[in-house]
Every structure is written in C-alpha cells, then in structure tokens.
Amino acid sequence: MTVRIDRDQQGHAMDDALHDADAFDNLQVPLAALPDYRELAFEPVADGFRGYTVITTLIYWLPIAAAGAILNVIPDLPLLAGLLIPGGVLLLALLIGVYRWVDAGHRGWAVRAHDIAAKEGIYWRSVTTLPFARIQHVETSSGPIERWRGLARLKLFTAGGMTADLTLIGLRAEAADTLREHLAEQIRLRDALAPDTAGTGDADDPDA
Amino acid sequence: MTESTDTAGAERAGADWERLPTAAVIAMYISGAQKAVRENLFLFIGGGTGALWTDALGLRELALIALGLLLIGLLGTLIYHRRFRFLIDEEAIRVRKGLFEIKELKVRFERVQNVAFSQPLYLKPLGLTRVNLETPGASQTEVELPGVRNDEALALRDRVAGAHRQGPATDAPAAAGEGDPSATGAPAIFAPGFGDLFRYGMTSSQLWIILGVVGGPLAERVGDRVEDSVEWLEASGLVGVGDLSSAPWLAAGLVLGLVVLFIALGLVVSGLIAWVRFHGYRLTGDDDRLQAVYGLLDKREKSLKRAKLHSLEVVQTAFGRLLRRWHAVGHQAALDAMNPMNQDKRFLVPGIPGGRLERVTSELAGRAWSPPAFQGIHPRFRRILWQRVVLLPLLVALTAHSVLDSGPWWSPFAALAVAGFAALLIHFRWKRWGVHIGDNGLQIREGLVGTTIILFEDARCQQVKVTRSPYQRRHGLATLVIRLPHGEKTVPYLPEPLAAELANRLLYRIETSTAHAL
C-alpha cells in the first residue's frame, strides 16, 4: 500500500491513512511533505478576554492594596511606609495586568483535521499540539466573570493524566461549545474505528 | 450505587456473586492498617510526638485510644468484608464493595494491562493471594481482591491472559504459550542471582532518598550520642580525648572513617533489602505478555501486556556505573505514575549486568536493541548555563567580596571551586543529553553521572510541544517536549528545523496509527 501525500491533498490522504487498518505498513512519506504545525493560522482569543484579565487582576490585587491602605490607621506608622505598601501593591498589580494584557495577544488556537493546537507565551513561546486520537474526554468550564464576559475554557484530557493536558482559555462560550461537540464527535468516530478499544471506557459502568 | 440497588442487583445475579473467604478478613485488616499508616504517616508521627509531649495523656489513655481505633478499624473491616462481592464471567470481572456507599465496578479483561499477585507472609498459611488488576486511567477503576484462594487467583490470571490472546489487537497466535509461562517451564529471559540483586540494592537511589530523609534528625541524635560518649571516655580516663584536639588530622580521619562506615552500612542494608524484595526474581514472557515472579517475604507476581507497554526505560545510576549494573522499567499508562507511592506498580527488572543489557532490553522491547549513537544537543545549552548559572553568580560573588572587603581570605577560592564544580556538572548533563531518531521511534538519553535511556514508538506519544525562549529564537534553536502516558520527556536545544521535523513526524505517526494510546 502506498499513501501519496502532497500539501493539497494531505487532508484526504491523512484521512485514508487513519481509516485504513494497514496504515502502519509500507508508509513512505517524505518528511518535507508532512503537515507542518508551523504553518498553522491561529485563531486569536476572544475580544472580551483582555477585559477579563484586567478585571480578574483587579479583583485579586485591589483587596490586598486596600488592606495595605488600612494600615495607615496604625497611629505610629510613618507616612512613607503607609504610602509605599499600598502603592507597591498597586504597582505590582499594574505590571501583572499589563503582562496578562500583552500575553492575551500572544495566545491562540487552531484545529486541524486530526489535532488541536494552542500557542502561548510572550518570551518563552510554545506551540502544543494534541492529536484527537489521544483525547480521552473534553469539558468546558466557566467562572462567573468568564460567563459575564461571554467566555469559556476548554479542557482536554488524555490517558494517564490527573489534570487537563491542554487547556484553551479565553474562548468565546459558543466557540468552546462547538469545539467540545466537534471533539466529542471525533472521539466517538475514533472509538468506532478502533474495535480493540471501542466501548472499553466502562470500568465504572455498573451492569453494562 | 446505593444499598437498595445493590440488593436488587444481587437478586438479579442470583448466587453467582462470590464472597471473599472468611480468612480474608485478616488480610484486609492488616493491609488496611498498613495503608492507613502509610497514607497518614505524618499525621501519625505528629500525633504520636504531640501525645508524648503533653501531660494530659498518660500511657493508659494512649493505649485506650489505640485500642479504640483498632476496634473501629476491625468493625469497619468486618462490614467491608461482609459486603464485598465479586463475579467473574468469561470476559469481565465485577466487584461490589463499600462501607457506607456500595460501589460496583466492571472491568473487562481485555482492558486489564497488569495483573499483580502479592502474597505477604501472613497470607501464606491461609492459602490466600492478594490480586490487583490494574487498568489504564483512574486509580479508582483498579480492582483489588484483598484475599482470594490461590487456585482462584491463578484461574483469574489465566482468564485475563486468555482474553488478551483473543483480543483483536493481538497479532500473536494464541497457541504460542497457553497458560502460565512460568508454570510451563518457559525459559527465563532474566533471572538475577544474589550478587546481581545485592549490587542493584546498593546502586539504587533508594538508599540516598532514605539517607536524605532520615539523615538530618539521625545526625543530630548521633551528634548528641557522640558528645555523651566523648564525655564518658574523658571521665573514664581510658582515652585522653583532649589529645585529639592537638592532632586534627587524626580527628578528621576518625570522623571520615565514621562517615564511610555509615555509608557502607547503608549500602549493605540497601543491598539486603533488594535481595529480600526481589528474591528469586524470574522474568519470563511470550509474544503477548511479560511476567515477573519474585519476593522472599512478600511473594509477588506481575504480568504486563506487551501491547500496553508504551515505553521502556533502561537506567544506570551513578553508583550503578561503578558496578556496571542497570535496571529496566516498563511504563504503562497510569493515573498517578509520578506518585512515589505508586513506584511499586512499575514493571521493574532489577540488577541487569552491563554485559546482558542488550539481550534483556531486546527481549523486553520485543525487537533487537543495542545502545545507538545519540545525536547530542546544541553546545549553546552548555554555554548559556555556564554563563547564567556559573559565571554570573561567580562575578557577583567576587565583586561583592572585593567591594565589601569582608569574609575570610579563602572565600573567593571557595566560590571558584563551587563554580568549577557546577560547570563540570553542567558539562556532564549536556554531554549525556541526546536523541536517537529511529525509523519508527525515538530514544532519548539523559543523566548526569548515571544514564537513563527511554525507548518509545512515535505512535505511543500523547502530545507534542515545541518551546522557544528568546535566546533560542535568536540562535535558531528549540526545545521539544514529548508527553508520554507516564510523564514528559524533554529534548532541549535542538536545531529548530529538526525539532519541528520531529514534532511533525510524531504527530503524523500518532494520527495515522490504528493503535490506541491505552
């Protein structure tokens, strides 16, 4: 069996390979012809995400700054210390807020026919790619502020992990739901195609 | 699941549900107590120390509390035992258990990746064996039968093995090794002798971990004892301890001798522990699975489906390098493989002599293996670490010394020595790190003085990540992070085109593979 892959047809060829039980045999694919993750066009995070970073930073740091300001009720506290403590906290909050604002612009996600990728990082930039074939389950979650801003996060779990292996934050709630459904469908398709593992996720399934 | 549905289920299933033998209560009680102590070790130590220090509790009160706890434990065990049921059919096992809430698990045999038997000393006279069926994924999906009759345990093991052989993913013909490889006298792949196991014990890092944990408090206690002994010797007039202060080299020699003696004692103890733990180790296997039987006090048997073996690690510790000894670890998907409490669940092959490493690893991997030529990582890894971890702190220390003009005269030399040592360690780390790109899989080597080589097929990976720091971007480099079901493996400072090529290849292989990660 020979699978010929070129860039125009790579989606179909990958599909054939995936659905062919003998896909492991006799594959001769020039390395240069493999789909390249570097060519991905990443979707940016939702518009509301930057506002979300500002709000959550303020919610976290403002009470601390306020507590610092309250210190001024201590009678013998020097004025400089009374100003420096809340001022320092506010400055730190500002720096963190700016960092998170810029960081939001460097985040992105992309879905291909067989995997999902996420990029992040201002200085240390990384691209993480998780094939659908390895996803065990998918979930979306959103806190009260995320819901207010119309945002949600998508958590992807693989086997052997206690925590999510890949978390996409700053998605529009509708996009997160669509992605979750799409990925769940991919998992169902995969399980249907792999008879050795189909329906084996029943370890906790009583009277299955 | 509630008790009411439990009763309904029992009626539906009729008399097929089995109970554990009455003697299994003992096994459940002891293992439950062990587990409770192990999981709450710090609480026990803290509680015990606190109780000893407080005057409110006398020995009688403490004994009563302990007795009360033991009785509550016994009552709980009796109820748990009474409610425990299991049902084995052709393709699956069901277990119904729970103290307050009844839970029912069903695990198909083809999903079981590891069957582990354990027979501690106290179970031997009762003719019982503890059986663990490990499945990939959550620990709560693991089935543990705390004590079943030996013949039942063997029948269960064979049934699981039978399910594997009939499994659609298995290419091996079923007739190749029917039944128990060890029982049918299959030749051992590896059976280390006393010397091999003793040396493995000496070389395993276990000793240094124990020393690290108990070393501090122990040193303090030993110090007090030594002070007492010195005072006693001085008072007895047998030895003029004061003379030692006039002979510093003799005193230093004595201290050094004591330290060497302490380490030698630790090595011997560690060697003996390994010998007891792995006594009679015998590794056998066929095309379908691997099996290891070992243990003097706690007789254990582990079997592992080859199809579930996603990576193989061969390790030589720093001490092992001196003694030319390796050990191998077969990794399988597990929820908390990084948890040290689960170290026992690994499929470990101890005490492999250097000369037999290739043969044993080939047998474990299921294909010919010999140490390949590794492609090293870029020298900039070493250079940047030298600059930022060695040179920069050294310059700061030297500048501070000259500007502040404080500290002893030898402090710059000490700083230089420490920096030199750190530079050497960085060099070792850099030199050891490498990757071998095979036709279907990768091998990654890392270590400092020792060596760890991990072998895995491309299609076994879970996730691929490529990271680039600003320095790496300037110099066209990247770090490749590969996630396997048991943890991450990193190859830093590869040329960026190579890292991308490897990432693309790994993704392609995962996505075109029909093999599932589990």
pLDDT of B474 above 90: yes
Answer whether B333 sits within 8 Å of A208, measured CB to CB: no
pLDDT of B148 above 70: yes
Nearest neighbour of A159 by CB, restricted to B136, B468, B504? B136
pLDDT of residue A171: 94
Positions of E strands within B174-285: 282-285
pLDDT of B171 above 70: no
**Residue A199 φ/ψ, nearest 5 degrees:** 70, 20
pLDDT of B492 above 70: yes
What mean pLDDT do residues B352-366 have?
91
| Partners of A166 in beta bridges | A156
Q: How far apart are CA B376 and CA B128, in angstroms?
A: 52
Please name which of B457, B334, B333, B461 lies closest in space to residue A131, comparing C-alpha atoms.
Answer: B461
A126 chain-B contacts, CB cut-off 8 A: 465-468, 481
pLDDT of residue A178: 94
Distance linking the first and last C-alpha atoms of chain B: 27
Contacts of B289 (CB under 8 A, 6+ apart): B161, B164, B303, B304, B305, B306
What percent of chain B clears pLDDT 70, i.e. is strictly above it?
A: 79
* Stronger pLDDT, B386 or B248, i.e. the higher one: B386
Reading the block at residue A147, the tokens are: 């819901």
pLDDT of A4 above 50: no
Q: In whole numbers, what is the pLDDT of chain B averaged over residues?
A: 80
Answer whether B135 sits within 8 Å of A203, measured CB to CB: yes
In this prediction, residue B343 has a pLDDT band, given cuts at 50, 70 and 90, of low
Q: How far apart are CA B418 and CA B141, in angstroms?
A: 50
Nearest neighbour of B465 by CB, restricted to A36, A128, A136? A128
Q: How large is the ipTM?
A: 0.77
Question: Are the CB atoms for B448 and B377 separated by under 8 Å?
Answer: no
A193 chain-B contacts, CB cut-off 8 A: 514
pLDDT of residue B339: 55
pLDDT of residue B238: 64
Question: Are the CB atoms for A114 and A128 separated by under 8 Å?
Answer: no
pLDDT of A3 above 60: no
Q: Where are the alpha helices (DSSP H) in B387-512?
A: 392-404, 411-432, 470-474, 496-512
What mean pLDDT do residues B154-158 have?
83
- Residue B335, helix vs strand vs coil: coil
Alpha-carbon B396 to chain mean position: 40
How far A164 CA lies from chain B's nearest CA (Å)?
12
pLDDT of residue B5: 41
pLDDT of B350 above 60: yes
B161: which DSSP letter?
H
B461 chain-A contacts, CB cut-off 8 A: 134
pLDDT of B321 above 60: yes
Please name which of B334, B292, B348 lies closest in space to residue B116, comparing C-alpha atoms.
Answer: B292
pLDDT of residue A9: 44
A162 chain-B contacts, CB cut-off 8 A: 335-336
Range in B6-15, B100-109, B200-209 the model is least confident about: B6-15
B204: which DSSP letter?
S
pLDDT of B105 above 90: no
| Partners of B117 in beta bridges | B131, B301
In this prediction, residue B473 has a pLDDT band, given cuts at 50, 70 and 90, of very high
In this prediction, residue B264 has a pLDDT band, given cuts at 50, 70 and 90, of confident
What mean pLDDT do residues B32-60 have?
68
pLDDT of residue A194: 63
Answer whether A34 sits within 8 Å of B505, measured CB to CB: yes
**Residue A151 φ/ψ, nearest 5 degrees:** -115, 165
Answer whether B516 sits within 8 Å of A197, measured CB to CB: yes
pLDDT of B70 above 90: no
What mean pLDDT do residues A82-91 have?
86
Answer whether B168 sits within 8 Å of A195, measured CB to CB: yes
Question: Are the CB atoms for A142 and A132 separated by under 8 Å?
Answer: no
pLDDT of A12 above 60: no
pLDDT of A87 above 50: yes
Please name which of B18, B37, B31, B34 lies closest in space to residue B123, comparing C-alpha atoms.
Answer: B31
What mean pLDDT do residues B28-57 have?
69
Distance linking the first and last C-alpha atoms of chain A: 39
Q: How far apart are CA B508 and CA A115, in angstroms?
A: 10
What mean pLDDT do residues B29-41 have?
77
Q: How far apart are CA B27 and CA B402, in angstroms?
A: 68
How far B67 CA lies from chain A's nearest CA (Å)?
36
pLDDT of residue B176: 33
**What's the Cα-to-Cα distance from B214 to each of B220, B260, B272, B457, rounded to whole Å?**
10, 17, 19, 40
A122 chain-B contacts, CB cut-off 8 A: none
H or E segment to which residue B44 belongs: helix B41-53
Contacts of B439 (CB under 8 A, 6+ apart): none
Range in A49-53, B15-19, B264-268, B302-306 the model is least confident about: B15-19
pLDDT of B11 above 60: no
Q: How far apart are CA A112 and CA A133, in angstroms?
A: 13
Answer whether A35 sits within 8 Å of B507, measured CB to CB: yes
| Partners of B132 in beta bridges | B116, B144
pLDDT of B477 above 70: yes
pLDDT of A123 above 50: yes
Question: Are the CB atoms for B203 and B319 separated by under 8 Å?
Answer: yes
pLDDT of residue B45: 63
What mean pLDDT do residues B206-223 have?
67
What mean pLDDT do residues B135-163 have?
75
H or E segment to which residue B150 belongs: helix B150-166
pLDDT of residue B172: 35
- Residue B201, helix vs strand vs coil: helix
pLDDT of residue A14: 42
Q: How far apart are CA A55 and CA A143, in angstroms?
A: 13
Crossing angle of the two packed helices B24-39 and B41-53, in degrees rounded to 10: 70
Test the A interface: residue of B132, B483, B511, B516 with most A CBs within 10 Å: B511
pLDDT of A198 above 50: no
Reading the block at residue B279, the tokens are: 């006594």
Answer whether A123 sits within 8 Å of B469, measured CB to CB: yes
What mean pLDDT do residues A124-140 have?
91
Residues in chain A: 208
pLDDT of residue B133: 84
Q: Which residue of chain A is at minimal alpha-carbon distance from B10?
A: A207
Range in A171-180, A198-207, B239-248, B359-368 the model is least confident about: A198-207
Contacts of B349 (CB under 8 A, 6+ apart): B190, B281, B283, B292, B327, B328, B329, B330, B360, B364
- Select, from the ranges B195-204, B325-334, B452-461, the one with the highest average predicted confidence (pLDDT): B452-461
How far B476 CA lies from chain A's nearest CA (Å)?
13
In this prediction, residue B165 has a pLDDT band, given cuts at 50, 70 and 90, of low
Answer whether A126 sits within 8 Å of B463, measured CB to CB: no
The per-residue pLDDT for range B397-417, each reduced to its tens digit, is 999 888 887 778 888 899 999
How far A44 CA lies from chain B's nearest CA (Å)?
19
Contacts of B464 (CB under 8 A, 6+ apart): A128, A129, B480, B481, B482, B483, B503, B506, B507
How far A176 CA lies from chain B's nearest CA (Å)?
20
pLDDT of B391 above 90: yes
Task: Identify the residue whose tokens are 């192990």.
Answer: B38
Please name which of A179, A175, A174, A149 lies closest in space to residue A50, comparing C-alpha atoms.
Answer: A149
B190: which DSSP letter?
B
Q: How far apart are CA B338 and CA A179, in angstroms?
A: 30
* Stronger pLDDT, B104 or B81, i.e. the higher one: B81
| Partners of B352 in beta bridges | B326
H helix count then E strand count, chain A: 5, 7
Test the A interface: residue of B141, B498, B507 with most A CBs within 10 Å: B507
Test the B interface: residue of A7, A24, A191 with most B CBs within 10 Å: A24
H or E segment to which residue B88 belongs: strand B85-88
In this prediction, residue B130 has a pLDDT band, given cuts at 50, 70 and 90, of confident
Reading the block at residue B311, the tokens are: 């990576």
Answer whether A35 sits within 8 Å of B469, measured CB to CB: no
pLDDT of residue B116: 83
Q: How far apart are CA B443 and CA B374, in angstroms?
A: 8
Question: Are the CB atoms for B466 and B483 separated by under 8 Å?
Answer: no
Please name which of A156, A167, A134 lies closest in space to residue B136, comparing C-alpha atoms.
Answer: A134
Angle made by CA atoms A170, A173, A175, in degrees to the nearest 5: 85
pLDDT of B170 above 60: no
Q: How far apart are CA B372 and CA B374, in angstroms?
A: 6
B136 chain-A contacts, CB cut-off 8 A: 159-160
B467 chain-A contacts, CB cut-off 8 A: 121, 124-126
* Stronger pLDDT, A199 or B426, i.e. the higher one: B426
H or E segment to which residue B381 belongs: helix B379-385
**What's the Cα-to-Cα distance from B83 to each of B4, B7, B100, B313, rounded to whole Å?**
13, 11, 10, 41
In this prediction, residue B242 has a pLDDT band, given cuts at 50, 70 and 90, of low
pLDDT of residue B42: 64
A159 chain-B contacts, CB cut-off 8 A: 136-137, 333, 462, 485, 517-518
What percent of chain B clears pLDDT 90, i.e. is strictly above it?
A: 27
